[in-house]
């Protein structure tokens, strides 16, 4: 945790917070903070700044806080992602938040197993928890928007064209396609498939919505590695 | 597992292997293979090709194999990495192998906790297991070389200059440095610090060995994300 993210409920006054949860434990066990120490803090969806430890009790800490710094810019990106297997999902939310993705749309795809949709990692509270962890890692405060689209065709036909309009639309897909572009200056809409990839019908439909296939080479990457590699190359 | 990697001990004839371990379980439980099915296979440090399932018993499978395809090219890179915390180390070996790093040098650094060196994940057999998992993910066969350098100064002063000679030497370090270069054509020597970064003395010493500091922006990335982001941008 490189930034302590504060929620509205933490505030007992405009410049005072009391923490008694995971963040208190982390401050004590990992950072070993003492009264008088200063920490980097941010308000969820707000500014960043500094906190001073005023009081440490056995189960809670009281901090004085001051905010003066905007969070880092987000990427000009909508990321469309086929739902990965549950064990990858937690880290994926963290990574997406860390990298500065402002909007993530999780979609179904032919090769997504139906059971993946049942995972508790898709509960809004769990998604939020993992996004917060990713923001704390990066030193950012602004929660990405996460949209869940369980039906591929209506999403891609009815809603994706408006999302992709005015952006560079890309589908990551192995095959005889152009290499993924580098250092793109315009906004981007990027779709990344499931393990095993999109099926041709899906690539066609994404193409009609304005997303052109591009490839990253012969190596098959885990979805989280693919997300990082693609965003690092494109931006 | 996108490629089934075969070891010398698996062979019962030039074109026959018997598998009874993790790979047999994976074939059955994840891929649900049956007699007559074909699978992508590779020989560790050798060629890739196809296997046909000849026989499935309760505890083992016999495959006929033929090899005809070279593995994908590696990156022209030596990656020097401060030892990360143990829980990150397993995935890091996998990611390094997946991305095509041919040589990884793990070094000490001021901010590496001494206890990190005690982890069983640094045992050669465990390193090899995780490299194999990363190669199976990427569809590669060639094990990266992993070198462990427990003492920073003698390594950087005595051995790193020869490694970096004739390459583009880079140290990833946050600060007022040039942005990390893109699409580099020459071989690269890249050093990535621990959580918390290198200390100034270390950056100086790495600079004398031929590695210039570059930065990736304001966001602080986990080491595995940083490795992927840097390699994807540089190559």
Please give the pLDDT value at position A33: 92
A223 Cα to chain B: minimum distance (Å) = 11
Length of chain B: 235
Q: How far is CA A221 from the centre of its chain?
A: 18
Residue A225 with chain B: CB contacts under 8 Å: 95, 98-99, 228
Which residues in chain B land under pLDDT 50? none
Residue in B95, B98, B219 closest to A138 by CB = B219
Sheet with strand A188-192: strands edge to edge: A145-149, A103-107, A77-82, A188-192, A168-172, A212-214
- Best residue of A101, A141, A232, A233 to probe chain B, by most B CBs closer than 10 Å: A232
Interface check A69 vs B, CB under 8 A? no
Please give the pLDDT value at position A139: 97
Q: Do residues B52 and B32 lie in contact, with contact meaning Cβ atoms separated by under 8 Å?
A: no
Please give the pLDDT value at position A14: 95
Mean pLDDT throughout A6-19? 97
Residue A72 with chain B: CB contacts under 8 Å: 217-219
Q: Do residues B35 and B52 lie in contact, with contact meaning Cβ atoms separated by under 8 Å?
A: no
Please give the pLDDT value at position A189: 98
Mean pLDDT throughout A65-83? 98
Residue A229 with chain B: CB contacts under 8 Å: 99, 228-229, 231-232
Please give the pLDDT value at position A30: 81
Please give the pLDDT value at position B105: 98
Residue B218 with chain A: CB contacts under 8 Å: 72, 139
User: Quick one: which H or E segment has residue A120?
Assistant: none
Interface check B99 vs A, CB under 8 A? yes
Q: Do A225 and B228 touch (CB under 8 A)?
A: yes
Please give the pLDDT value at position B58: 86
Quick: pLDDT tens for A83-142.
999 999 999 999 999 999 999 999 999 999 999 999 999 999 999 999 999 999 999 999
Residue in A95, A138, A233 closest to B220 by CB = A138
Ranking A8-12, A56-60, B73-77, B155-159 by mean pLDDT, the lowest is A56-60
Alpha helices in A70-123 (DSSP H): 86-99
With a cut of 90, say whether residue A75 has pLDDT above it: yes
Residue B137 with chain A: CB contacts under 8 Å: 220-222
- Interface size, chain A vs chain B, as Cβ–Cβ contacts under 8 Å: 69
* Closest CA in chain B for residue A133: B222
Q: Which domains does chain A have, with CATH numbers?
A: 2-67 (2.40.240.20), 75-232 (3.40.1280.10)
Interface check B221 vs A, CB under 8 A? yes
Pick from A42, A31, A3: which is nearest to B219 by CA? A3
Please give the pLDDT value at position A201: 97
Q: In this structure, what token pair is assigned to residue A179?
A: 């290499």
- Give, in order, the Cα–Cα distances in Å from B185 to each of A90, A182, B167: 36, 15, 10
Quick: pLDDT tens for A179-214.
999 999 999 999 999 988 999 999 999 999 999 999
Quick: pLDDT tens for B43-63.
999 999 999 999 999 899 999
Interface check B199 vs A, CB under 8 A? no
- Best residue of B219, B220, B224 to probe chain A, by most A CBs closer than 10 Å: B219
**ipTM confidence score:** 0.96
Residue B222 with chain A: CB contacts under 8 Å: 98, 137
Length of chain A: 235
Q: Do A230 and B232 touch (CB under 8 A)?
A: yes
Residue B228 with chain A: CB contacts under 8 Å: 225, 228-229, 232
């Amino acid at each position: 945790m490189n930034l302590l993210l504060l929620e509205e409920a933490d505030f007992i006054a405009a410049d005072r917070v009391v923490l008694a949860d995971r963040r208190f434990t982390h401050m004590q066990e990992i950072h070993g903070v003492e009264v008088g120490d200063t920490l980097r803090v941010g308000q969820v969806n707000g500014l960043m700044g500094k906190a001073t430890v005023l009081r440490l009790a056995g189960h809670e800490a009281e901090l004085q806080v001051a905010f003066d710094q905007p969070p880092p810019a987000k990427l000009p990106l909508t990321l469309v992602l086929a739902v990965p297997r549950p064990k990858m999902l937690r880290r994926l939310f963290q990574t997406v938040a860390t990298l500065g993705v402002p909007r993530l749309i999780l979609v179904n795809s032919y090769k997504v197993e139906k059971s993946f949709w049942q995972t508790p990692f898709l509960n809004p509270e769990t998604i939020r928890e993992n996004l917060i962890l990713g923001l704390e890692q990066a030193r950012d405060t602004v929660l990405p928007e996460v949209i869940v689209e369980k039906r591929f065709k209506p999403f891609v036909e009815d809603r994706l064209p408006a999302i992709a309009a005015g952006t560079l639309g890309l589908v990551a897909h192995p095959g005889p396609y152009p290499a993924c572009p580098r250092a793109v200056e315009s906004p981007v809409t990027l779709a990344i498939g499931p393990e095993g990839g999109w099926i041709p019908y899906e690539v066609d439909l994404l193409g009609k919505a304005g997303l052109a296939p591009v490839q990253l080479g012969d190596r098959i990457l885990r979805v989280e590695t693919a997300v990082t590699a693609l965003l690092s190359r494109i931006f």
